Amino acid sequence: MPAGMSKLAASAMSGVSRGARAFAPHRRFIATVDPVIQRAREMQKMKYDEAKEGKIRAPDYVGWDAELDADFKKLTVGPVKGGRPYQKICDSALDLIGFTPMVRMSRLAKHLDVECELLAKVEFFNAGGSVKDRIAKRMVEEAEKSGRIKPGDILIEATSGNTGVGLSLVAAL
């Protein structure tokens, strides 16, 4: 063993002379297939037998047709109208949703060395702090105008994300 070499390094060097097998740990891979996966693979190979399994029926979907288009147009009430309400006192936080300011990002544009006007939409100025407040407000307004919901109805939303927060805010106000 050369001077300054540890026993571990010396044993490693001796392993090199014996070949790479001396270092490779012996592993055995035993692949067990999940019983559900195994059954699915068996079923995939089976032929379809209408007598045993019944007739397969699928709707004849033709895409966006005139009937769907007419129903969609009945529910659509149009875009939100009005200006930015910053110069006046608002009656509710809902009045501010969707009227978030645009900010010129001149220092960032200079830092990135871009030759265009760089703007940012400040959506966190919405009452709930997210762009999802817009969609929540619009969903509730559209549902009220079309008669699908009315004041006092209980709305149930299955998410805890930003859309759920926005819906909670709009429904509460």
Per-residue pLDDT of the chain (173 residues; tens, 9 = 90+): 555 556 655 555 555 545 555 555 566 666 788 888 888 888 889 888 888 888 877 767 777 788 878 877 777 766 656 666 566 777 888 877 887 888 889 898 889 888 888 999 888 888 888 888 888 999 898 888 888 888 888 888 888 788 888 898 888 88
Q: Nearest 5 degrees, angle CA 151-CA 154-CA 158?
A: 135
The pLDDT value recorded for residue 54 is 84
**Token pair for 88:** 């006046």
**133 vs 4: CA distance, rounded Å:** 68
The pLDDT value recorded for residue 21 is 53
User: Which residues lie below 8 Å from residue 57, measured CB to CB, with a gap of 6+?
Assistant: none
